[in-house]
Structures are given as C-alpha cells and as structure tokens.
Amino acid sequence: MVSSRLVQHIEDHWEAIATRLTKRVHDTEELTHLKQWPDSEVREAARRILQNLGHWLLSSGSHELSERYQQIGRKRCDEGFPCCEAVRAFQLMRVETFGYIRDQGFLNTSMDVFAEEELALRLARFFDLVVFYIVMGYEARLREPLKRRVAVGL
C-alpha cells in the first residue's frame, strides 16, 4: 500500500481532522440535527473511524464493517435523526480527511502524487461502503413496523 504513510498520518492526527469536521458541521446550513450534537460527540465519531483508519481500509467490505454501520443506521433511525444528515456527515468526514492530507503538502515527488490519489480512491470506496451500510440499517429499521403490521394482518 503506497499510501500507508498517509494513513498513518491521518491516524496520528485525527484530532485536527475532527476539529475541521466539527467546524464544517457548524458551517453547513442543512445539518440542523447534527448541529445540535455536542462537539464532543462529533469528535468521538470521527475518532472511532480515523484513529483506526488503516484497519477499516483493510477490512472494507467485511462483515465487521457491515454490522457496525448497519447498527449505526438503525440507531440513527431510532433517534429520529434524518438519514440524509447521516449520509452528509460521512461525506464531510471524507472531504475533511482528504482535505487535511492535501493541506499538509506531501506532494514532493510523483510517487507522493500517486500515493495521494491512491488514498483518495481508498477513502472514497470506504466511505461509500459506510454510507451504503448506514442507509441499509436505517431502511431495515423503517421496514420493521411494516413487517409487524403485515404479520398481524393489519
């Protein structure tokens, strides 16, 4: 993995990325529910992903990833948290993570450019899967009352 140095940098500096994400959440008008979360919860959500990013990138598509984020999707649904805001939060985390790396000025050689592009692709794939599993869990929770009504014959 060419981008392993960049992944390690993200894991080591997750706090700076979490700060960027928190600011971005506050600056994004459409995130009305997420703005009500304490900054500490937004930072903790970022930490859970970014501090272990190497693990998550290697396990993309794994059962662990699927279960974890489907569970989060079900939880957000139970909380009445809009699905679109959950999706946007992870999109912003991807954008701020890659933006942080770009701002660090690692582009010294053509190999650095390649590593950065590899990282961008891997981050996109990972966050796309996270969003897919969150929506999957959210929708599964929404269907549960319907399944119960059908089973009872209503």
CA distance 102 to 115: 11
Fold (CATH) for 4-152: Globin-like (1.10.490)
pTM over 0.75: yes
Q: Any residues with CB less than 8 A from the CB of 117 and at least 6 apart, and which?
A: none
Does the pLDDT value for residue 149 go beyond 90?
no
Q: Which pLDDT tens digit goes with each residue over 114-129?
A: 889 999 999 999 999 9
Q: Where are the domains of the chain?
A: 4-152
Q: Taking the chain, what is the end-to-end CA distance rounded to the nearest angstrom?
A: 54
pLDDT attached to residue 134: 97
